[in-house]
Amino acid sequence: MTSVPSQLEYTAAHEWIRRLPDGVVEMGITDHAQHALGDLVFVELPEIGRVLEAGEACAVVESVKSASDVYAPVSGEVIARNTALEQTPETINQDPYHAGWMLRVRLAPGAAAAAVLSAAEYQTLLDTEGG
């Protein structure tokens, strides 16, 4: 029911990543995640320059009924953040994979993305969780 674009990679914690040139990845939360959270009212993003460890809590997405940590899917340095989300968090609800991107991270040298899933694998995960 929710969208899982095939060209992206995913984590079990419902983040997506898109690989950009020069060892940079873009990330956000999945359509499934935004749907589960409901209307987002607030997004808190890390500062530019912060060095993330894969798996650490790096951002918060807040709806009326919940506030959830977003975990860094990769290790690396934050080089860009989607500050427009601070005014219009609903963009994540409307367009989680494009306009609703959250961070761009330059991968640490030799860093592998932690436990990344393919679109098919993520879809299987959703099917299992939903069942």
Place of tokens 């650490």: 56
Residue 79, SS3 per DSSP: strand
Q: Is 22 in the site for other proteins (CB under 8 A)?
A: no
Query: Which of 7, 22, 65, 128 lies at the binding interface for other proteins (CB under 8 A)?
Result: 65
Contact of 66 with 34, CB cutoff 8 Å: no
Q: Is 41 in the site for other proteins (CB under 8 A)?
A: yes
Place of tokens 């940079």: 24
Least distance (Å) between residue 42 CB and other proteins: 7
Q: Which part of the chain contacts other proteins (CB under 8 A), choosing from 7-15, 34-42, 70-78, 121-129?
A: 34-42
Q: Is 62 in the site for other proteins (CB under 8 A)?
A: yes
Q: Is 131 in the site for other proteins (CB under 8 A)?
A: no
Q: CA–CA separation, 89 vs 109, rounded Å?
A: 32
**How is residue 48 written in tokens?**
């530019």
Query: Which of 3, 23, 48, 67 lies at the binding interface for other proteins (CB under 8 A)?
Result: 67
Contact of 103 with 50, CB cutoff 8 Å: no
Least distance (Å) between residue 40 CB and other proteins: 9
- In terms of residues, how long is the chain? 131
Number of neighbours of residue 1 by Cβ within 10 angstroms: 7
Q: Is 13 in the site for other proteins (CB under 8 A)?
A: no
* Binding site residues, other proteins, CB under 8 A: 39, 41-42, 44, 47, 62-67, 69, 89-90
